[in-house]
Chain A
Amino acid sequence: MISVRNLKKNFGSNKVLRGIDFTLKDGEKVIVLGPSGSGKSTFLRCINRIEEPTTGEIYLDDTLITDKNIEKIRQDIGMVFQHFNLINNLTVMKNLTLAPVILKLMSEEEAEKKAKGLLRHIGLLDKVDAFPASLSGGQKQRVAIIRAMMMEPKVLLFDEPTSALDPESIGDVLALIHELADEGMTIMIVTHEMNFAKEVGTRIVFIDEGKIIEEGTPIEFFEHPKTPRVKEFLKKVL
């Protein structure tokens, strides 16, 4: 699905990613862990080239995304942000239908029908004409997730989707992601929710100082960590 070769990213003289090799297979749910500032967000953002990689190659299936028309490829890579990033000047409905309609993936009627179906599913059909400012954090994030789903992406990237939420809404958002995972969606998620990681993750990837220093199944990772760095990290978070 996604394969990343020797990905490096510098911000000026700050070497944030120092050579990442990674593959994501169909249906996998990869949890990305690592200390703050280790480059997790940058890694995710390079995959859809919201951040331009300095060097390295990224493939989506067999397409080298680092030289192809990225806008087309982004339609297949959904992204959910920590701060939701719903479009403030558009209603919930418009947030959901804007991209698929403009990009001619579906007609306006089809898009609205699909949007209503998804909204009903997450219990927010009554917010269809509301503006984002009137939604709670948890509601915003769930709308952001179905906005990504509207595009019928091949993979969904989540960058700390619950870090900006109050404790009550975290559960709702995690439940929705869990459900997508169960439906077979290919997922990559940066999170600090360790229980969620254990439960939903098929593989854990640990990034430190811009490199993947350890990866494995949740059991391997949490029960039998190999590197001292991960042992130390787990001691702090568990």
Chain B
Amino acid sequence: MEEFFSKLVELFSTPEYIDSLWHGFLLTLEIAFFAILIGFLLGTIIALVDTAKPSAWLAVPKFICRIYVTIIRGTPMALQLFIMFFVIFAIRGFPQIVTAILAFGFNSAAYTAEIIRGGILSVDKGQTEAGLALGLPRMVIFKKIVAPQAIKNIIPALGNEVITVIKETAIVSMVGMYDLNMAAKDIGSGQNMSSYVVPMFTAALFYLAVVYLISFIIKRVEKGLRKSDLRAES
């Protein structure tokens, strides 16, 4: 215990260590943020193609989307990361962070697409039919009727996906990137076993803090959405 505290003091009083953790933390956030952004944009496009009314010119895009989602969801994230690093972007001097962002972004897109698709399909078909019967164009029906109802089902699952991506980025340490996870290992290494404990628990607290913050925000948003339900029932 005494040793634990002395290590703790050492960690927080050595600017080098704090610096390492902080930089690792920022890298983790940076990768996660842009990956989530790409995942959301690409995932939305995939979900829209996937749920659009079947037509001749959409047949091929729909097929590609299904294949994409199947492959991404059917293979390990770590393997996808390796393929991006050592096959697709095995270009000398290509920024590692871009490769990592794309790897996690492309991965998250498949999961986000499934979440959004599920949300859209969970809206009763009668809602669309009511719009059609009134002569509304499909674009308007989606914007005014389907999307607002789908969002209520999508938000909680999307929150989980954001949290998953943040935690999953820890595997970039496998390709030698200096993220929060790697920083913890680096600070602890080269000394005895017990020296790992403090930096790793500290890194865990960083992750926990971010996840907690995001859960909090999602809960708030959900509560806001539920309020309109209550109003509907009163």
Q: Which of A125-142 contact B (CB under 8 A)?
A: 130-134
A109–B145 Cα gap in the complex (Å)?
22
B229 near A133 with CB under 8 A, answer: yes
Please choose the segment from A78-86, A176-184, A190-198 that sits at the chain B interface, where 4 or more of its residues have CB less than 8 A away: A78-86
Give which listed residue, B129, B232, B234, contacts A85 with CB less than 8 A: B129
A132–B126 Cα gap in the complex (Å)?
14
A50–B127 Cα gap in the complex (Å)?
12
B136 near A103 with CB under 8 A, answer: yes
When each residue 70-96 of chain A gets 1 if its CB lies under 8 Å from chain B and 0 otherwise, what string results?
011111011101011111111000000
A103 near B135 with CB under 8 A, answer: yes
Count of A interface residues, CB-CB < 8 Å: 32
**Inter-chain CB contacts under 8 Å: number:** 76
Least Cβ distance of B129 to chain A in Å? 5
B127 near A74 with CB under 8 A, answer: no
Count of B interface residues, CB-CB < 8 Å: 23
Question: Is A170 on the interface with B (CB-CB < 8 A)?
Answer: no
A7–B124 Cα gap in the complex (Å)?
28
If A87-B145, A89-B145, A132-B232 touch, whether A71 touches B136 (CB-CB below 8 Å) is yes
If A88-B127, A88-B149, A131-B231 touch, whether A78 touches B136 (CB-CB below 8 Å) is no
Question: Is A42 on the interface with B (CB-CB < 8 A)?
Answer: no
B127 near A99 with CB under 8 A, answer: no
Give which listed residue, A74, A102, A131, A147, contacts B132 with CB less than 8 A: A74
A237–B122 Cα gap in the complex (Å)?
36
A83–B127 Cα gap in the complex (Å)?
10
Question: Is B61 on the interface with A (CB-CB < 8 A)?
Answer: no
Task: Please give, as numbers and ranges, the residues of chain B lying within 8 Å of A148 by CB-CB distance.
Answer: 133-134
When each residue 213-234 of chain B gets 1 if its CB lies under 8 Å from chain A and 0 otherwise, what string results?
0000000000000001101111
Return the 4 tightest CB-CB contacts between A and B, nearest first. A131-B232, A99-B134, A85-B130, A75-B135
A residues bordering B, Cβ < 8 Å?
48, 50, 71-75, 77-79, 81, 83-90, 98-99, 102-103, 130-134, 144, 147-148, 151
Known contacts A74-B132, A98-B136; 10 further A-B pairs (Cβ under 8 A): A50-B132, A71-B136, A72-B135, A78-B133, A83-B126, A89-B145, A99-B135, A132-B232, A134-B233, A134-B234
